[in-house]
């Protein structure tokens, strides 16, 4: 398969629906080949077909962020097919708790499942793509975080597992960015904002707006920021 007109390849976890699929659409408009990494390859392929109908270059690969062997396979298949992986969007995420889950009464099963997906899944994906980015001296890693990760903006007790997983993802962003900053690899965290998807059906913010900041961070020039946390293309307090 030909890769997109700008020759760059973006791997998007949870790319089959929601914000991930919209990031893929926005990157496709900019000429990227998008690889929709999805737990169900059939669902990923269905969404990739929809993007191809728009004239974009897109394909799908099976990837479950909770299964590290599947991450290794997906990255290896992507590099095997396209010779490169320039962008990683760590978008796959779950929100298993809300007002029902009190920090004083932790449900460790929910907490571990959430950390496994939202933190360790993103970390394992970064580990798999980094050797290829290092060899190319080019990479953009975008961790899809949340306003709910912000220590400065948090004043209520709701969703402790989700908040803590995304706050930890923010710290991963900072330490990883520090390690690779001299290697042409920029690592940033983005909050999409409270965006209408299956995860947040009551939200009114359209998915186009939610995907804008992650897409911007995926396409940064070499002198762009790294190790930052952004909402609406502006820094968000940690
Ligand atoms: N929507 C919001 O208001 C909002 C606000 C702040 C941050 N976010 C963040 O934005 C990201 C995207 O959320 P969304 O609103 O688009 O949610 P969504 O509509 O629920 O989509 C979540 C995506 O993640 C995938 N996923 C979940 N667990 C996975 C796993 N183990 N392996 C691979 N993929 C997995 C899902 O795949 P399946 O289709 O297989 O389930 C789906 O593609 C998440 O990280 C979320 O925390 C969302």
Report yes or no on 97 lying in a domain.
Answer: yes
Report yes or no on 3 lying in a domain.
Answer: no
Report yes or no on 29 lying in a domain.
Answer: yes
Which protein residue's CA is at the shortest distance from atom 23 of ligand 1? 14
Domain hosting 29: range is 9-235
The CATH number linked to 142 is 3.40.50.720
Spatial neighbors of 10 by CB under 8 A, at least 6 apart, are 24, 27, 32, 33, 34, 35, 85, 86, 87, 88, 89, 218
**Of the residues 61, 199, 206, 209, which should be mutated to test ligand 1's pocket, given the most ligand atoms within 8 Å of the CB?**
199
Mean pLDDT of the chain: 97
Residues with CB under 6 A from ligand 1: 13-14, 16-20, 38-40, 43, 63-66, 91-95, 117, 144, 146, 191-192, 194-195, 197-200, 203
**pLDDT tens digits along 62-95:** 999 999 999 999 999 999 999 999 999 999 999 9
**pLDDT tens digits along 161-202:** 999 999 999 999 999 999 999 999 999 999 999 999 999 999
Report yes or no on 110 lying in a domain.
Answer: yes
Which protein residue's CA is at the shortest distance from atom 32 of ligand 1? 64
- Number of domains forming the structure of the chain: 1
Report yes or no on 2 lying in a domain.
Answer: no
Is 231 in the active site?
no
Report yes or no on 208 lying in a domain.
Answer: yes
Report yes or no on 206 lying in a domain.
Answer: yes
Q: How far apart are CA 32 and CA 182, in angstroms?
A: 24
């Amino acid at each position: 398969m030909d890769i997109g007109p700008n020759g760059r390849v973006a791997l998007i976890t949870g790319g089959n629906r929601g914000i991930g699929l919209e990031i893929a659409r926005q990157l496709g408009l900019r000429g990227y080949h998008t690889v929709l990494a999805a737990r169900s390859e059939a669902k990923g392929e269905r969404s990739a077909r929809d993007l191809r109908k728009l004239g974009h270059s897109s394909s799908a690969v099976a990837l479950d962020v909770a299964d590290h062997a599947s991450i290794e396979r997906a990255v290896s298949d992507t590099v095997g097919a396209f010779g490169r992986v320039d962008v990683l969007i760590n978008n796959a995420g779950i929100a298993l708790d809300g007002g029902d889950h009190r920090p004083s009464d932790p449900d460790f099963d929910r907490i571990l499942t959430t950390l496994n997906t939202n933190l360790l899944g993103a970390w394992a994906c970064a580990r798999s793509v980094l050797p290829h980015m290092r060899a190319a001296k080019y990479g953009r890693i975008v961790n899809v975080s949340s306003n709910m990760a912000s220590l400065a903006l948090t004043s209520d007790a709701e969703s402790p597992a989700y908040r803590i997983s995304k706050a930890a993802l923010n710290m991963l962003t900072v330490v990883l960015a520090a390690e690779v900053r001299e290697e042409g690899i920029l690592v940033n965290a983005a909050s999409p904002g409270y965006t209408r998807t299956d995860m947040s059906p009551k939200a009114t913010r359209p998915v186009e707006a939610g995907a804008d900041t992650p897409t911007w961070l995926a396409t940064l020039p070499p002198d762009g920021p790294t190790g930052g946390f952004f909402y609406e293309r502006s820094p968000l307090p940690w």
